[in-house]
Amino acid sequence: MDSPHGTPAPLAIVSAMQEELGALLALMPDGRRVRAAGRDFWCGHLHGQPVVAVLSRIGKVAAATTATVLAERFGVRAIVFTGVAGGLAPGVAVGDVVVAAGLLQHDLDASPIFPKYEVPLLGRARFDADGAIADALAGAAHALLREPAALLGAQAVAAFGLHAPRVHRGLVVSGDRFVSTAAESAALRHALPDALAVEMEGAAVAQVCHDYGLPFAAVRTISDRADDAAHADFTRFVAAVASRYSAGIAAAWLRSLSKK
C-alpha cells in the first residue's frame, strides 16, 4: 500500500512501555514528533522503511485508540505491537519471547447473549495475527536469542537467568487487569488451556486492525509468570531485557523487508 504521494505507507511499531519506545527511537535518528489524541507519534525511517513509532499506553481502550489513530491519521500499512507479558503455559519462562498466532480478550463476557469471549456482532473471539509478519518476527527472535549475552550483556543474562531463552508461537490473551496472583493465573490456564501468555493490550489492537483490514502482529517478552512474584524486578527487567529484545527484533524485521 502506498500513500497518496506514491511513497510507501509507513509501518507502525507500537510499544507498551516507555523504555521500549526509547530503545526504538534511539535507532531512528530522523524521528519527527506528531502530537495526536494526547500521544506523541514519531515519524521517521528505520533500516530504509518509513515507520511510525508510538507508545500505546496501558490497557485495551488506550491501545485501541492508538491503533485507530495510526489507521486514520497516519494511514499505516501494518501494525506490530511489542511489549512484555506474563507467562501462562508450562515452559513459557521469564526471558522467553512469544509471537502471537492469535489473540483473545480473556475478560470479555457478554453471555448468555453471546458466547463467552466472543466480540458481540463480530461472531468471533479470536483474531489471527498476520502469518507473514509473525514468521518474520519469530525468525528475528530466534536469531537474537541464540546469543542473549551479545544483546543484553553477561551481567543481565546472569541476573535474570537467561541462558537458554526460547521462542514460542500461539495464543496471547489480553485483559484490563495485571494478572499477579497464582490463583488468577491458574484460572486463566483452566479456562484457556492453549493460552501462552497474558497482557493488557494486544487483542484490542488486533480487533481494530481486523475492522480496518490491516495486517497485525505482536511479539511479547515474558517478564514474569503472572503469579504472586509478578511484580518482582519488573522495571529493571523491562529496561535491561525487554526493551533491548523489542528494539532488536523490530530492527531485524525491518532489515529483512529492506532486503526484498
191-245 pLDDT, tens digit per residue, is 999 999 999 999 999 999 999 999 999 999 998 766 656 555 778 888 888 888 9
3-state SS assignment for residue 149: helix
Q: How far apart are CA 191 and CA 205, in angstroms?
A: 22
Closest CA to 250 of 67, 41, 28: 28
Residues tagged active-site: 20, 224
Q: How far apart are CA 99 and CA 106, in angstroms?
A: 18
Length of the chain: 260
The pTM of the full predicted model, rounded to 2 decimals, is 0.92
Residues 136-189: pLDDT tens digits? Answer: 999 999 998 988 888 888 888 888 888 789 999 999 999 999 888 888 889 999
Residue range(s) defining the domain that contains residue 21: 11-258
Residues 27-77: pLDDT tens digits? Answer: 888 989 999 999 999 999 998 899 999 999 999 999 999 999 999 999 999
Write out the H or E segment, with its range, that includes residue 258. Answer: helix 243-258
Closest CA to 223 of 179, 173, 170: 179
Within a domain: 6: no
Question: In three state form, how does the secondary structure of 168-183 look?
Answer: EEEEEEECCCCCCCHH
Within a domain: 219: yes
Least confident of 132-136, 170-174, 246-250: 246-250
DSSP state of 152: H
How many domains is the chain partitioned into structurally? 1
Within a domain: 2: no
Within a domain: 3: no
CATH number at residue 118: 3.40.50.1580
Within a domain: 137: yes
Within a domain: 165: yes
Within a domain: 234: yes
* 213: alpha, beta or left? (left if phi > 0; alpha if psi -120 to 50): left
For residue 19, what pLDDT is reported? 85
Closest CA to 39 of 65, 9, 76: 65
Within a domain: 5: no
Preceding omega of 112 cis (within 30 degrees of 0): yes
CA dihedral 197, 248, 24, 68 (to 10 degrees): -40
